[in-house]
């Protein structure tokens, strides 16, 4: 039973978790989310808007602003934008996944990431614990696909990889299991948006999400 405010989920559902600062959310996030729903056979996807990325020195914009922008950008009946990670008091992915599994008994979670993150996955706190707890779905984004496929994580778990159409079975697999799917490229970047001055104080005033 859920013991804190958060999204609703039923036992047996396959839910993808896309974590990040979303500073700000953009079309690239939307692109990989829609692809994840179909390519990995998911029932829903939750965007976990994080308090902050421990690997980044610069803090993100206020949570309220990031939530508003994310909900405006991602409008899909099977996708929910949530700040549950902050409500749980978690900063690291391994802790977040453990807490969600404890609270949503019977729900089958899949961790989602872009190919750029797979290349540095071994730098994450308790990354092997993540691999042991949930299947991982990797979606190709702009960047070096070869470095992602040759990453430490990919090299350590070659037998756990689902190839081709097997990716649709990812949510039903026991961890460790992972799949890498190629997508048409989308060049949107939070960094580029910030550098261009398209994100900052007052940037989301006119982008209130529907209720």
Note the pLDDT of residue 171.
Answer: 96
d(CA 34, CA 210): 19
187: confidence class by pLDDT, cuts 50, 70, 90: low
pLDDT digits (tens, 9 = 90+) for 38-94: 999 999 999 999 886 655 556 678 899 999 999 999 999 999 999 999 999 988 999
**E strand or H helix that includes residue 63:** helix 63-73
- Tell me the C-alpha distance between 118 and 114, whole Å: 7
- Token representation of residue 41: 């056979």
208 pLDDT band (50/70/90 cuts)?
A: very low
Q: For 56, how many CA atoms within 13 A lie in the half-sphere containing its CB? A: 14
């Amino acid at each position: 039973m859920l013991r804190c405010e958060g999204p609703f989920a039923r036992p047996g559902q396959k839910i993808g978790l896309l974590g990040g600062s979303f500073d700000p959310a953009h079309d690239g996030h939307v692109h990989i989310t829609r692809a994840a729903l179909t390519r990995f056979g998911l029932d829903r996807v939750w965007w976990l808007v994080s308090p902050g990325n421990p690997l980044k020195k610069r803090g993100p914009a206020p949570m309220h602003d990031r939530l508003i922008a994310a909900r405006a950008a991602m409008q899909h009946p099977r996708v929910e934008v949530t700040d549950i990670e902050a409500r749980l008091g978690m900063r690291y992915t391994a802790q977040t996944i453990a807490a969600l599994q404890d609270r949503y008994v019977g729900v089958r979670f899949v961790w989602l990431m872009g190919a750029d993150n797979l290349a540095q996955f071994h730098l994450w706190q308790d990354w092997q614990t993540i691999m042991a707890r949930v299947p991982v779905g990797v979606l190709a984004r702009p960047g070096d696909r070869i470095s992602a496929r040759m990453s430490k994580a990919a090299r350590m778990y070659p037998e756990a990889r689902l190839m081709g159409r097997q990716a649709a079975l990812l949510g039903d697999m026991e961890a460790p299991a992972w799949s890498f799917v190629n997508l048409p490229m989308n060049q949107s970047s939070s960094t580029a948006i910030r550098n261009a001055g398209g994100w900052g104080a007052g940037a989301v005033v006119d982008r209130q999400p529907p209720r």
